[in-house]
Amino acid sequence: MRDSVLALGAHDVDRQAFPHPAVVASALGRRSPARARAGCGGRGSVQLHARRRSRSGRRDRVVRKLESSSPEETERVAARLAERLVPGDVVTVSGELGTGKTTFVRGACRALGVTEPVTSPTFTIGHRYRGEVDVSHLDLYRFERVSPEEWGDLEPYFREAIVFVEWPEAARGALPPVRARVRLRHLSPSERAVDVEADAAIGDALRG
């Protein structure tokens, strides 16, 4: 595996408190639900590239660039990132279809003590899992853009939880501060690039 990655957050709320999937889906339905998903991640030699930059009013950020050659390796990268997360952290996970976004989230959830199956919430919009902390997993693929009304339905997932958001572009400008931004890209049928922009603590966890 070659090296460079990103971050997230979680807590406790009864699933009954969340809007029924049909309620949320009725506000969406703008994109075709037909889409194929695949996962990947990988082992191999790791080349580490880090870059720090200061932004006004923000902590220094670090960029890690990794390459994964298997789903298992992608999950291991996510697990290392998850070790530094606390409730309230938000991690966005971007990438084309089939790059392994849900695989990445699954690896983080396992590291956070989630034992139940972790699947893509494309049609239910969100899942909330209980582990050592609560973990929310959102998939905004079916949103063109999140409206204030739709945000009201999504907001409970962010309460006292570590939150992973797939396809975050639809919520640009609406999400709480993001601790880590992960982007996965196809390098070959079996290899993925995993780019992570995050704070120095997460960047250190992804070294080597």
Coil/strand/helix, residue 196: strand
Give the whole-angstrom CA distance, residue 52 versus residue 203: 10
Predicted confidence at residue 49, as pLDDT, reads: 30
208 CB-contact burial (10 Å; exposed 0-12 / middle 13-18 / buried 19+): exposed
Residue type (1 letter), 124: T
Give the whole-angstrom CA distance, residue 92 versus residue 179: 8
In a domain, 129, yes or no: yes
Residue type (1 letter), 190: S
Coil/strand/helix, residue 108: helix
In a domain, 2, yes or no: no
Give the whole-angstrom CA distance, residue 67 versus residue 170: 26
The yes-or-no verdict on residue 195 having pLDDT over 60 is: yes
In this prediction, residue 69 has a pLDDT band, given cuts at 50, 70 and 90, of: very high
The yes-or-no verdict on residue 175 having pLDDT over 50 is: yes
Give the whole-angstrom CA distance, residue 152 versus residue 150: 5
Tokens 């958001």, residue? 165
Contact 199, 85 (CB under 8 A): no
**What residues contact 172, with CB distance under 8 A and at least 6 apart?**
none
Choose between 33 and 207: higher pLDDT: 207
In a domain, 1, yes or no: no
In a domain, 47, yes or no: yes
What's the domain count of the chain? 1
Angle at 44 between CA 42 and CA 47, to 5 degrees: 105
Give the whole-angstrom CA distance, residue 146 versus residue 12: 24
Q: What is the pLDDT of residues 82-131, one digit of tens each?
A: 999 999 999 999 999 999 999 999 999 999 999 999 998 878 889 999 99
Among 31-45, 55-69, 150-164, the range scoring the smallest mean pLDDT is 31-45
Choose between 3 and 130: higher pLDDT: 130
In a domain, 185, yes or no: yes
User: CATH number for the domain including 21?
Assistant: 3.40.50.300
Average model confidence (pLDDT) for the chain? 77
Percent of the chain with pLDDT over 90: 58
Coil/strand/helix, residue 159: coil
In this prediction, residue 60 has a pLDDT band, given cuts at 50, 70 and 90, of: confident
Q: What is the pLDDT of residues 4-53, one digit of tens each?
A: 333 333 333 333 233 333 333 333 343 333 233 333 333 332 222 333 33
Give the whole-angstrom CA distance, residue 102 versus residue 159: 21
In a domain, 91, yes or no: yes
Give the whole-angstrom CA distance, residue 178 versus residue 142: 21
Q: Is the pTM of this model over 0.85?
A: no
Choose between 165 and 12: higher pLDDT: 165
In this prediction, residues 49-76 reach a mean pLDDT of 72
In a domain, 111, yes or no: yes
Give the whole-angstrom CA distance, residue 141 versus residue 201: 30
Show the domain range for 182.
Answer: 15-205
